[in-house]
A = this chain, B = another copy of it.
Amino acid sequence: MGQGDGCTVREVLDRVGGKWSIGILVAACQGPVRFSELERRVEGISRRMLTLTLRNLERDGLLRRTVHPTVPPRVEYAATPIALELYESLVALTDWAERHHRTIADARAAYDRSRKAAP
């Protein structure tokens, strides 16, 4: 990594840091998915946010949108090669979270307790 920057990491976060981006990306990385399928698989997402996030991911070249001109319409979103690569890189982060989320939860609890005692 550079010296004191963190800028390139920020570039990833600008792409993937949104509330829903990763959920969608993870789903699409298992294979092409339809709009309504995503609506079901990405728990809690609204139609609006699904559309917006899909557009951004498409814009950044992480998803490819394919419209099958049938009736009713059928639209599929597929992960691009670079999205699949990104998915691989996310594993390192996931592992970190899995290794330490207990520790982090404890740290939080301790911090909050010490602040409740002497504010």
Contacts and interface: CB of A to CB of B under 8 A. Distances in A.
Interface string A78-96: 0000100110111111111
Given A61-B107, A108-B59, A97 B1 contact: no
Interface of A: 1, 4-6, 8-13, 15-17, 22-23, 25-27, 30, 41-42, 58-61, 82, 85-86, 88-101, 103-104, 106-108, 111-112
Contact of A13 (B10, B22, B111): B22
A25 B10 CA distance: 12
Nearest to A27: B4
Nearest to A17: B17
A8 B104 contact: no
